[in-house]
Amino acid sequence: MNRLLLPFRWLWASPWTAVGLLVGLVGLATGGRVRRRDGAIEFYGGAVARLLRLVPVDPMAMTLGHVILGRTAAALDAARRHEQVHVRQYERWGPLFAPAYLLCSLVLWLRGRDAYRDNPFEREAFETERRHRVLP
């Protein structure tokens, strides 16, 4: 990634990063933890874990801008490569990412397809995760 563009990518994704930071701060206030990994801020535990259980697809982790929210530290470790793809997607799409993601999911659902697994944003993340999986 071109280092000169990094501030612009952070700025472009900042509206959703702000939402993620707000959720993360609620998590910290309720016993959660925070750490920085691979250019993202990761929050886990506390209210973050409880909020993730409310998401329909029951994720281990979820990304908002440059913030990754996880149920546990282990969940973040397991989902990091996948969630990092979403961080890059936020850098490309900025404030349009979440509406584009939700619109794709809605169209897929209306067509009788899986709104999560068939979503092109998720397919990119799963494909990246699959390509980098280390076989035992």
Per-residue pLDDT tens digits for 69-98: 999 999 999 999 999 999 999 999 999 999
Per-residue pLDDT tens digits for 44-76: 999 999 999 999 888 999 999 999 999 999 999
Per-residue pLDDT tens digits for 5-26: 788 999 999 999 999 999 999 9
pLDDT tops 60 at residue 135: no
- Full-model pTM: 0.91
Q: How many domains does the chain have?
A: 1
Domain enclosing residue 89, as ranges? 3-132
Long-range contacts (CB closer than 8 Å, 24 or more residues apart) made by 123-131: 124/85, 124/89, 125/82, 125/83, 125/85, 125/86, 125/89, 126/82, 128/81, 128/82, 128/85, 129/81, 129/82, 129/85
